[in-house]
Amino acid sequence: AIATQRIFLEARTAARLEHPGLVPIIEVGNLPDGQAYMVMRYFKGGTLAERIKSGGPVPPNEAAAIVARVARTMGHAHRHHFFHRDLKPANILLDADGLPYLCDFGMAVQESTQRRRGARAGTLPYMPPEAVAGEATWLDGRGDVWSLGVTLYELLTGGRPFQANSQQELQREIIERDPRPPRQFDEAIPATLESIALKCMEKRPG
């Protein structure tokens, strides 16, 4: 039932937002046995997570272009008071030319309908400290900004800014530790991109 709700929620959200940076949804319906299905455009480039896993760090100019396009897409969603809540490389699909498209709005929430819910929604390595600590009682776009910063960091370095051997340790890392600056991994990374990534991952939401 939850999976079915997410499928129809994603379809409704994508239809309302109508943005070229979102994965187009072609059809949604139910099979004869009642199981819900969703047909989306096929992307030859796979996910951004697969790209990072197979090739390591992405060239800085390409990383900047990918994140800028995703940021514009999220900016459009935020202007319509929708927040993704699970922004990560696995939810960014690439077409044959490498252009990114944001998908999986199944956990998205609209500002006008949220009721202090979903503080822990998302994928832990990409969640902001206030959500990890359970302190986020009202969601806004700043959580998506944090997640996009983590994604930019991963594109530039080939690794996530917060890593640990257990979920509890990872939670503590996210809440307490500042990430290692990307240029410590590679001095060829532009200082401006490093600054953007670290600014997105500022501990204080304000």
Residues with catalytic function:
86
> Is 50 within 8 Å of 147 (Cβ atoms)?
no
Query: What's phi and psi for 142, nearest 5 deg?
Result: -70, -30
Maximum distance among all Cα pairs of the chain, rounded to whole angstroms: 57
CA distances from 155 to 55, 138, 159, 176, 196 (A): 10, 29, 8, 23, 13
190-200 burial string, b = 16+ CB within 10 Å, else e? eeebbebbbeb
CA distances from 23 to 27, 91, 155, 174 (A): 12, 10, 21, 30
Ramachandran assignment for 27, one of left (phi > 0), alpha (psi -120 to 50 degrees), beta (any other) = beta
